[in-house]
Amino acid sequence: MKIKFNVMRMFILILIFATLSCKGQEVKKIDLSGESEMNYIFARISDSKPNSKWLYNYGLHVNIFKLSDSKATPKGQFKEYHGSLVSYLVSITPDGDYYVWSKLYKIEGLLNPKIIEIKELTYPKFLIKIEHGSYNDRLTDLIEIIGK
């Protein structure tokens, strides 16, 4: 009988703690429609999953998002059709902690780009090797990024 009472008491305590801990988790909807630049970027991200990489033994986390960037496309660039150049947004955070600091870079003016390599240099610098251009005229650029 005493065991049943202790189990029942323990069950009630767990239920109370679970109820109390859930009160702080309120779901909110925030309308960001007025954030025109953010709205533009999210509307044009073309990869559902970013190119993601840890550098410097998990000291820096890099996410690279590809987006179709009509704002960075010169008028008359695509005369035959309504195309646009591609940009990469490069987001860097220390060991994945998004609340300490972050860096955000934009690499723009790319035609049919492909990331070939992300290579560590000297902390916190790294290199992004990008191949881009038309089918028969590919270029390779090395972009140095400072992650801090």
Does any domain span residue 137? yes
pLDDT (tens digit per residue) in 115-125: 999 999 999 99
* Tally of domains within the chain: 1
Does any domain span residue 116? yes
Does any domain span residue 68? yes
Does any domain span residue 5? no
pLDDT (tens digit per residue) in 59-86: 999 999 999 888 888 787 777 777 888 9
Q: Confidence band (pLDDT; 50, 70, 90) for 36?
A: confident
Does any domain span residue 2? no
In which region does residue 95 sit, left (phi positive, over 0), alpha (psi from -120 to 50) or beta (all else)?
A: left
**Cα–Cα distance between 143 and 148 in angstroms, integer?**
16
Residue 137 domain boundaries: 36-146
pTM of the predicted protein model? 0.73
